Amino acid sequence: MMNEVDVTVMRYDPAEDEHPIYDTFPIELKKNMTVLDSLFLIVEDQDPTLSFRCACRLGMCGSCGMVINGRGRLACRTKIESLGTKVVVEPMRNMNVIKDLSVDMDKFFKNWEKVKPYFVPKEDTDEFSKIPPSSGRREIIDENQDCITCGLCFQSCDAVSLREDEYIGPAALNRAYNLIADERDGAKDERLDMVTDQDGAFGCRSFGACVEVCPKGIKPMSTIQKIKTKKLKRAVGLKY
């Protein structure tokens, strides 16, 4: 087992710096040490000015999303042992940098809001107020329910990069599908119309990066294709 690792961190304060720079910090490696652990050691022992976001440290809140060795990951769930002797940590892409590894996620959450991401009950919900475990209806959305809004799919999405402020991104569309597929929701048609233009599901280019980086194993590209299918079925008068 290696005893030391170099952690290189992108440093950038848009209020003061013209361009980002990279600082490298030697870290004494311990068993099961995560990238987030190493960032805390840097702040405590080497440079207290380093900025980054975190909260639960358990992979539940999604706050510590970063680009680690070129790939979007949660810093609290990424063990340094799996990365080798060189670790490069950068802020998430497709978002404005606040300072160093901290990014402004307003764009991500404004797009999340665009899909009306909350349950809208039907006027008469008695029939569908509960989903029986044996009905099979629950399985339609179960595998997509665990999104922690970490933004890793958004930062990895090339369609978001290409369309800048237009394409709403995979996380918001995945949330929209969960509600559209819920038979108890009363805003199905409205929401389907909201997310099936070039800024929504039909703006997806199926690059697949969202699937690769999701820490919860969600496959937004698949749910986006299901949204497109529902729109086309409705257009030709089929049940969707």
pLDDT per residue rounded down to tens, the chain (240 residues): 568 999 999 999 999 999 999 999 999 999 999 999 999 999 999 999 999 999 999 999 999 999 999 999 999 999 999 998 899 999 999 999 999 999 999 999 999 999 999 988 887 666 556 776 666 666 667 778 899 999 999 999 999 998 867 899 999 999 999 999 888 888 999 999 999 987 899 999 888 999 999 999 999 999 999 999 999 999 998 888
161 and 187 share a domain?
Answer: yes
H/E element holding 226? helix 220-235
First to last CA, the chain: 55
Pick the last residue of a domain from 103, 122, 149: 103
Tell me what pLDDT residue 207 has.
87
Domain CATH number, residue 112 = 1.10.1060.10
pTM of the predicted structure, to 2 decimals: 0.90
User: 240 in a domain, yes or no?
Assistant: no
Domain that holds residue 36: 4-103
Question: Cβ distance 224 to 193 under 8 Å?
Answer: no
86 and 165 share a domain?
Answer: no
52 and 143 share a domain?
Answer: no
Question: Cβ distance 204 to 221 under 8 Å?
Answer: yes
β strands within 131-180, DSSP E:
none
Angle at 63 between CA 78 and CA 83, to 5 degrees: 15
Q: What is the CA radius of gyration of the chain?
A: 20
Tokens of 227: 């949204």
113 and 166 share a domain?
Answer: yes
143 and 166 share a domain?
Answer: yes
Tell me what pLDDT residue 240 has.
83
Question: Cβ distance 146 to 192 under 8 Å?
Answer: no
Tokens of 47: 């440079």
Q: How many domains, the chain? A: 2
Tell me what pLDDT residue 121 has.
84
Whole-angstrom distance, CA of residue 168 vs CA of residue 114 = 8
